[in-house]
Chain A
Amino acid sequence: MSKLVDNLCAKISALFLLLLLFAICIAGMLTTLYLYEENYYNLNQFNFYASQSCRQLNREYAVYAFEDYFLYEQAEDKSQWDTYQTAYVHDLLNPETSNFLFDVVNEQKEIVFSTYDENATYGITVACGTYESDGEQFTIIAHIRSPLLPGDDYYQTAYWLEKVFNNRYLILWCSCIGLLLCLALFIFLLTAAGHKRNVSGISLNWQDKIPYDLYLCLAVWLEWMLLRILPYYGGHSLWSTIVGVTLIATAMMSVMAAALLTTATRLKSGVLVRNTIIYRILHFIWFLLRKGARSLGIMFGSLPVTGKWLLTTILLFFANFLLFLGVFHHRNNGLWLFLLLVMYLCILRFGSIITIQMHRLFDYCWRLAQGEGEEQLDVSGMYAPLRRHGENLNNIGKGISAAVESSLKSERLKTELITNVSHDIKTPLTSIINYIDLLKKEPQTSQKTTEYLAVLERQSAKLKKLTEDLIEASKASTGNIKVQLRRTNVNELLQQTIAEYQDRFAAAHLETVISSNQDEIFIPADGRLLWRVIDNLLNNVCKYSLSHTRVYFQVTSLQQKVYISIKNISREPLNISADELMERFVRGDASRNSEGSGLGLSIARSLTELQHGSLHLEIDGDLFKAQLVFDQAANWTEDAATQNLEETLRPPNPQ
């Protein structure tokens, strides 16, 4: 099928076949119509003399017959008329050869003229016309021979009519089938329209390139002209009618077929609307308008913001003024009012869009300031100046998140490095500690050996503590520790902690003084971590306190906050600021001789912050004060805290 669709020969043959078949069908249908008029489909026997064709011929011949009679009446010498041979004006009425013999009867029923032949036989005798001459009426009586003599219209008509009559059903069926065939061919042509061999898609031929509206007008005009000449072909005789109508109908059909085929091609390729003169004109006008608007837009866009605002305000003012003039000075002011309303709605819409976009920008800017600029602002659909501003903000946000990400990454890497290195140090350290221990059990050769071994032991213990603190410090500062906040009794925890340190306090000759403004004070904290915070603080207290002094522990609950403070007197003068003390590897004694890594306070602060608390140090002369501040657990529930915790512990997005 697709091959056939692409085949030009097949299409041309189909088109010719279509027109031919159509012509045949039209002829056949006209014939059928005629046969139906004659009622031939109800008759079994063909009778020419009763047919309309015969009557038509009778009428035509009667006119000639009366003319002959009239000439005869006018003639001076009537003798020559007797012979009938030479004098007849119309040779076709020659009684010798004609099938039409006639009598002319006047008003008194007298035969005034006759070509009647008594020896001949007749199929029908009929009155076929009344004519007036000099106020007298004459009737023509026709006698039609039977059988007909060959040579004239009667014989011809009867001959063909009889053939048609004999094939009347065949003609009917042929017409019907032909019509169906026409339809099929037409559908085929519609499908095939626009397809070309070796060319994919729809290709247009020359007539598809004529503007469609022009083409349609031409086609309609042609059809109209053809329709106009149709009546000239009707009425003369059956055959001329059939042939004429068939020709015109076929011509009309070919015009229509061409129009429909080109319509199909255009529909398929989608150029139906575009290839019209009207469309082209409208398109050109639209193009001009757009170009004008764009150049105006470029001019407007190149103005600075203040200029735009000024121009807009002036234009709006003028528009407003003109519209108000219209409203007050025209009788028909409904239209003006409507225009005014439309203008105000436009201003409202534009203003609200600008406001919304500015609000989004402000909102994003605020989030950026809060450090939440990970996601980008969607600037599509914003007005140009605002969009540029939004893009700038986006770039700032990108820069910030890149910086945060890289710092997070480096911090993570640092923690990983510290953990791994500490781990690798631990294994040889185990051997060192164990073999020092073993050496100590061996017989000592000299006093010096014992001394050196003691140094080794002390230093290896220090190294051990240092590696452990290092890991803890790096974990605590990066939040790489599980935190489970629970309602924790501060007084209970403090007592437990002090109990752990009782022996060391006693050894350092320190007295503890504990006071609390309430019996039970609860804070949301992870007991294990809080113990390590206080552990680190008390470790310092033991190391650096002046002996025979008191250490004060105070728990105060005040305005939803809980303050835990530990105060002690330093043995050495503290010539260092509280902030410096908090830094890693910084220690109270400049000589660094005492045990400890210098990480204790840093660990304590990191762990406190992981529990949403804060650690403050205060130095007042020799008085050293460490204060922990937590929220009170009065309105605090564990569920909410767990949720918060999950949020804080969630790893930062890789984005």
Chain B
Amino acid sequence: MFWKYGLFFSILSGGIWGIFWQIFFTLVGILTLGTPLSLELSQIMIIGPLAGFIYIKSQKFLSIKFHLTAIIIISFLIYISHLGNPYHAGDENQLIIFILILSTSFFIWVSLNHSLYNLSPGKLSKHDIESFLIKFMWGIGLIILILITLIPFYIMIMTSLKNQQSLILNPLDLSVNLNTDFKTLFNSYIELFTNFNFHLFLINSFIVSCTTVIITLFFSIPGAYALARLRIPNKKIFSGAVILIYLIPSIVLIIPLYIIFSYMGLRNSLFGLMLVYPATTIPVALYMLRGYFSALSSEIDDAALIDGLSRVQIILKIAIPLSKPAIVSVGLYVFMIAWNEFLIAFMFLDDPNIFTLSRGIMSLNSSEIPQQHLMAGAVIATIPVMVIFLYLEKFLISGLSAGGVKG
């Protein structure tokens, strides 16, 4: 079986890493140069596996000197195989092209060193194969994950910092001239807060989101506790029905809601949103919290009952302190749903003074308003959630219930 040999894995991973980094650095080249580059994979499909082959054959005498030589050889091979004109970039950008090729080969070699380290070229045991696969997948997965989160964010921030002229000149160029003064650099942001009422939108979004979190937790904590602890007839049907509500897409509900809320005069008001949002978030919150509450030992509740607490007091003094991480994460989740919600806000709100952020950004989407304002609005909408998330992260990790009952 050829696929049980280390040699096969080294060639395979060399090929995959080669293609991966070639795509990546072509993208980087496009974003930094601002000129279109052609993505060529046929050459790297031979050079990558070759690198893998070299790595595994020379494992016995790996040294820094050897690593450097290998990287330079790979770069040279890439350059030669493209007949001296990689990416079809033209002559004026030779230095950057050279750096791109060097980093491509550097990262191919580092990745190989990570996933093939200590792998013998001969027949492998099951354990060796598994540990190789885990290292390999882990590396690829991690890098892809980082890229798909960072690249849009990077594009968003860079575009928001540009001015109209440079944006129209070359929308692909994402380098920013940092020598300009503060006012021109952050022009879009200043404009949004002075001329476009974004301070109002921020406040509105905060009010709506925080109220949604409070209402959701107020109803879902006792509800989830009851579902987790009390013996209620037809409990299963009830909790199933709650999940069913969540499964109905909001687009189905929105027309009837629009009509009803119009009749009741709740449309075009933040109060209306505060009614609708909890209705969509409570089912999820209930479901998540119920799982956590049922994982807590029910003997603690029994002990509290014997110590003279009522069920309400148990929720306040025992269940909530013990499930702080769960409540924080549910709260955060609900906050993000409410903060990012667009569809209902878009349908319900007409008055620019009570726009939420997502609705406000939508109002920027017209041909009269420059593109970078839209991006700046997106950054303003993203950053608060990120800050809150980073701040609350420590609560999410710690599990408080450890130690109270025998583990």
A binds B: no
Task: Show the binding face of A for B, using Cβ within 8 Å.
Answer: none
Task: State the B residues within 8 Å of A (CB).
Answer: none
